[in-house]
Amino acid sequence: MHRLTATYLVETPLALDKAAASLAGEQSSGTFVAVPGETDELKARFAARVERITELESTTTPSLPTGRAAAPGTVYRRAEIEVSWSLENFGANLPTLVSTIQGNLYELAQFSGLRLRDLTLPEIYRSAFRGPAHGIAGCRRLTGVQGRPLIGTIIKPSIGLSPAQTADLVRALAEAGIDFIKDDELMADPPHSPFDARVAAIMRVISSQADRTGKKVMYAFNITDELDAMQRHYETVVCAGGTCAMLSLNSVGLVAAKKICDLGTLAIHGHRNGWGMLNRHPLLGMEFPAYQKLWRLAGVDQLHVNGIANKFWEPDDSVVRSIASCLAPEPLRKPVLPVVSSGQWGGQAPETFRRTQTVDLLYMAGGGIMAHPEGPAAGVRSLQRWWEAAVEGLTMAEAAGKYPELAVSVAKFGTSG
Amino acid sequence: MHRLTATYLVETPLALDKAAASLAGEQSSGTFVAVPGETDELKARFAARVERITELESTTTPSLPTGRAAAPGTVYRRAEIEVSWSLENFGANLPTLVSTIQGNLYELAQFSGLRLRDLTLPEIYRSAFRGPAHGIAGCRRLTGVQGRPLIGTIIKPSIGLSPAQTADLVRALAEAGIDFIKDDELMADPPHSPFDARVAAIMRVISSQADRTGKKVMYAFNITDELDAMQRHYETVVCAGGTCAMLSLNSVGLVAAKKICDLGTLAIHGHRNGWGMLNRHPLLGMEFPAYQKLWRLAGVDQLHVNGIANKFWEPDDSVVRSIASCLAPEPLRKPVLPVVSSGQWGGQAPETFRRTQTVDLLYMAGGGIMAHPEGPAAGVRSLQRWWEAAVEGLTMAEAAGKYPELAVSVAKFGTSG
């Protein structure tokens, strides 16, 4: 029988096998007293199964409140545990899969820490889920960029520009040779920049440049909204000749995001704002390898992973692991394009390449382009040059020594990195 | 101008005013260097505004990792802060509202703790959002229950029963006088209990009992699935004469849940499984008063709040506050029916009433009904009696002394409470 496996980091004041059994029970047949109808045959067929318990370190302070008074000297044991479910329990129903692997687990008093680390999805899911309609190869085809990262930027300020002002910025960026531009996630369809007017103004610029040069900038229009509006906005982008739409994944939710991805014409740029809530405490929530698998099943083509030396709290090791998980073939044998973002100005390219050995990235820089001392075109060229230097194997210092234009960007942005 | 206000509990190694300003900047015009186009006029119109900073206690240990080395002796200050945004930034776009008040905030290195406590929504939202189509009054009308809590239960085992076996349980419960029954959240449309067959079998029992007695049990069918399937299942329930559908809110997501609520025929039972991930750490995530407002805007009619002396980690004070927030008129002047659940057997009724002074509840008991020593009908009668005793003002012990049938349930379930 096909089974789904989930790996958790747990912390518990109980014996590990007892705690693991309570987790498995809660997430399959579980009830607080025995009831008629719960036969051994049913249990064997539908029960979650504890597959592995690997004991880790212990602590005397619980990481999360348990709501129970602890005896003095209580030890909280940590372990990695693996639990599996028969696919029969939920089938290809993605939100019910999520309820099964997460559900009430995070509320169990038996645990003082619980974190979903990873998932292994049954191979049979390849026939039930299409996954990313475009993925990395498709995004390269749509932008005509091969052999290096796509270079992208964000329209700032996030809020307040009119469609005409935004189109002016897009013109400058397109002429500068940018591959990708996105709306800010705080910007959707406000009165000062109605969605339809913004798409019309921006696509006029992008299409006319594509007609002249053969290069069509990919613009991720933020269609995040209620469902009917998202579908309408998606059509507006398609009709205007656009190639990409952006969703704030956590705000929209899995089911509506999948409905949009299923449309399949546009590449879907997945913004993970809100992710910190799910991930920042080391013994709560979930880790990115599990998270990205769910969104890959939903069909997202591009997914934010933060960046090396980012402006947020996330350590580089975690970013490196996120990039690797996006590029790993499973699930569905379809990788998702990692979107490297947050405080990036180019100087992080050498370390990013050294640690990930890939150019299959969408590399986003904000001020690094628009605030470049010699203008946006120099900013874009500088980012491309940073990536050439990175692939040559140079460090940031070596690259700045070899290429004068990179010395310029280190002088301007180096302290913020 | 109409503004939305969010209240956060924060912890930061920075000066509080500086940290609050960085939060407001990130969630409106924010970028990491100044760029052309960001005028003072734009800033004044669209910037988030820090409305209040109330300093609380300090600590020398950060609650969450910041990704930055701290100087020895660093103090982490806690405060409650209030930030407001012009409605013009996002309008009636619910997911973009969520991205605005949550967004990247949880990733900011400037904070070692950040938790959304509450929201104040602009009154003008009453014209943009319908909110719960049925709410408390509607659920009472649909079930014919006045003056006491609706008494409900869950079909267990969660997974494995066939439609015919489930219908047999429903028959026993309906004959026992139950008001409400729900599918388990792990149970949606599996091969051993296909949704359509389950609805047909169960509604045959419920309708025939309603024809005989005039009392129609409300059954919350779990329609959680991909969007097209949810819409199809919703129609199936409507056509079979059902009155309620259940969604796993966090797994489905805000946008698809609102799309279903907008249909407006069935009462929507909102299950909050996964909630612990968002709430369990005291300095991360969000608190229930904020959470329930978002789901009320989406239109959910019934929302889980856990229960007094529950089997999970949640303290009673938190449960009491959740119930109060569901019953408060704002937003939209439409309360949502609190679903009291988790380890409830009736004995918690006195304390629940003493602390909340309300009978506007859906009171769910699992084993407390099905495993009652004198059968399910005695279980349902016992729960009704518990609530009569609670409204009389009796304690659990006084109630058990006065009513022999309550002494029976204390003897059976009292230790698990």
pLDDT 10s per residue in chain A (417 long)? 699 999 999 999 999 999 999 999 888 765 534 545 556 777 778 889 999 999 999 999 999 999 998 899 999 999 999 999 999 988 899 999 999 999 899 999 999 999 999 999 999 999 999 999 999 999 999 999 999 999 999 998 788 889 999 999 999 999 999 999 999 999 999 999 999 999 999 999 999 999 999 999 999 999 999 999 999 999 999 999 999 999 999 999 999 999 999 999 999 999 999 999 999 999 999 999 999 999 999 999 999 999 999 999 999 999 999 999 999 999 999 999 999 999 899 999 999 999 999 999 999 998 788 888 888 899 999 999 999 999 999 999 999 999 999 999 999 988 644
CA separation for the pair A116, A106 (Å, rounded)? 10
Q: How many CB pairs under 8 A join A and B?
A: 353
Q: Which of A101, A107, A232 to mutate to test the interface with B (most CBs of B within 10 A)?
A: A107
Interchain contact A286–B (C-beta under 8 A): yes
CA separation for the pair B332, B296 (Å, rounded)? 8
Q: What pTM value is reported for the model?
A: 0.96
Chain A residue at shortest CA distance from B253: A253
Give strand pairing partners of B59.
B76
CA distances from B117 to B80, B101, B120, B249, B291 (A): 9, 11, 10, 19, 9
Q: Which residues of A touch B225 (CB under 8 A)?
A: 93, 95-96, 255
Q: Residue B33 has what pLDDT?
A: 40
- Which of B89, B259, B311 is the closest to A227 by Cβ? B259
CB distance B416–A91 less than 8 Å? no
Are A105 and A164 in the same domain? no
Domain final residue, candidates A94, A126, A158? A126
Interchain contact A28–B (C-beta under 8 A): yes
Are A182 and A85 in the same domain? no
- Which of A43, A169, A273 is the closest to B103 by Cβ? A273
Strands B76-86 and B3-12: antiparallel
> Count of residues for chain A?
417
Helix and strand element counts for chain A (H, E): 18, 13
Give start and end residues of each alpha helix (H) in B117-162: 125-128, 135-143
Interchain contact B344–A (C-beta under 8 A): no
CA separation for the pair A338, A135 (Å, rounded)? 10
Cβ proximity of B246 and B183 under 8 Å:
yes
CB distance A225–B29 less than 8 Å? no
Are A73 and A179 in the same domain? no
Interchain contact B200–A (C-beta under 8 A): no
* CA dihedral over A257, A260, A264, A269, signed as positive or negative: negative
Q: Which of B61, B186, B344 to mutate to test the interface with A (most CBs of A within 10 A)?
A: B186
Interchain contact A100–B (C-beta under 8 A): yes
Sheet with A3-12, side-by-side order of all strands = A49-59, A76-86, A3-12, A113-120, A284-286
> The domain spanning residue B271 has which CATH number?
3.20.20.110
Domain final residue, candidates A82, A99, A126? A126
Chain A residue at shortest CA distance from B88: A190
Are B209 and B106 in the same domain? no
Quote the tokens at residue A9.
């980091």
- Which of B29, B254, B315 is the closest to A158 by Cβ? B29
Are A11 and A114 in the same domain? yes
Q: Which A-chain residues 261-280 have CB contacts (< 8 A) with chain B?
A: 273-278, 280
Question: How many C-beta neighbours within 10 Å does residue B281 have?
Answer: 23
Interchain contact A3–B (C-beta under 8 A): no
Q: Which residues of A touch B42 (CB under 8 A)?
A: 157, 159-161
Interchain contact B44–A (C-beta under 8 A): no
Are B320 and B405 in the same domain? yes
Query: How far away is chain B from the Cα of A245, in angstroms, using its nearest Cα?
Result: 15
Interchain contact A75–B (C-beta under 8 A): no
Can you give the residue range of the structural domain that contains A43?
Answer: 3-126
Report which residue type is found at B217: V
Are B71 and B169 in the same domain? no
Chain B residue at shortest CA distance from A111: B313
Q: Residue A32 has what pLDDT?
A: 38
Interchain contact B96–A (C-beta under 8 A): yes
User: Could you tell me which of B235, B234, B220, B380 has the C-alpha nearest to residue B302?
Assistant: B220
CA separation for the pair B390, B402 (Å, rounded)? 12
Are B197 and B326 in the same domain? yes
Q: Which residues of B touch A161 (CB under 8 A)?
A: 37, 42
CA separation for the pair A314, A291 (Å, rounded)? 16
Q: Which residues of A touch B156 (CB under 8 A)?
A: 29-31, 35, 37-38
Chain B residue at shortest CA distance from A344: B32
Are A64 and A199 in the same domain? no
Q: Which residues of B touch A366 (CB under 8 A)?
A: 31-33, 35
CA separation for the pair B355, B308 (Å, rounded)? 10
Are A101 and A230 in the same domain? no
Are A276 and A161 in the same domain? yes
Interchain contact B374–A (C-beta under 8 A): no
Please give the helix or strand (H or E) that residue B85 lies within, else none: strand B76-86
Q: Which of A4, A45, A99 to mutate to test the interface with B (most CBs of B within 10 A)?
A: A99
Interchain contact B416–A (C-beta under 8 A): yes
CA atoms within 13 A on the CB side of A125: 29
CA separation for the pair A34, A32 (Å, rounded)? 7
- Which of B89, B107, B226 is the closest to A312 by Cβ? B107
Interchain contact A255–B (C-beta under 8 A): yes
CA separation for the pair B259, A386 (Å, rounded)? 46
Q: How far out from the chain centre does Cα A254 lie?
A: 13
Q: Residue B348 has what pLDDT?
A: 96
Non-local (6+) Cβ contacts of A310 within 8 A are A319, A341, A342, A343, A344
Radius of gyration of chain A (CA): 24
- Which of B95, B160, B281 is the closest to A251 by Cβ? B95
- Which of A65, A94, A190 is the closest to B282 by Cβ? A65
Are B70 and B167 in the same domain? no
Cβ proximity of B246 and B220 under 8 Å:
yes
CA distances from B17 to A101, A257, B277 (A): 40, 37, 29
Query: How far away is chain B from the Cα of A409, in angstroms, using its nearest Cα?
Result: 13
* CA dihedral over B136, B138, B140, B142, signed as positive or negative: negative
Please give the helix or strand (H or E) that residue B189 lies within, else none: none
Query: How far away is chain A from the Cα of B322, in angstroms, using its nearest Cα?
Result: 15
Interchain contact A38–B (C-beta under 8 A): yes
Q: Residue A30 has what pLDDT?
A: 58
Cβ proximity of A410 and A347 under 8 Å:
yes
Interchain contact A186–B (C-beta under 8 A): yes
Report which residue type is found at B268: I
Query: How far away is chain A from the Cα of B42, in angstroms, using its nearest Cα?
Result: 6
> The domain spanning residue A105 has which CATH number?
3.30.70.150
How many domains is chain A partitioned into structurally? 2
CB distance A93–B229 less than 8 Å? yes
Angle between helices B227-239 and A254-263 (to 10 degrees): 110
Interchain contact B258–A (C-beta under 8 A): yes
What ipTM score was computed for the predicted complex, to two decimals?
0.96
Domain final residue, candidates B100, B126, B152? B126
Interchain contact A344–B (C-beta under 8 A): no
Chain B residue at shortest CA distance from A69: B313
Ranges of chain B with pLDDT below 50: 32-33, 35, 416-417
User: Could you tell me which of A261, A268, A213 has the C-alpha nearest to residue A242?
Assistant: A268
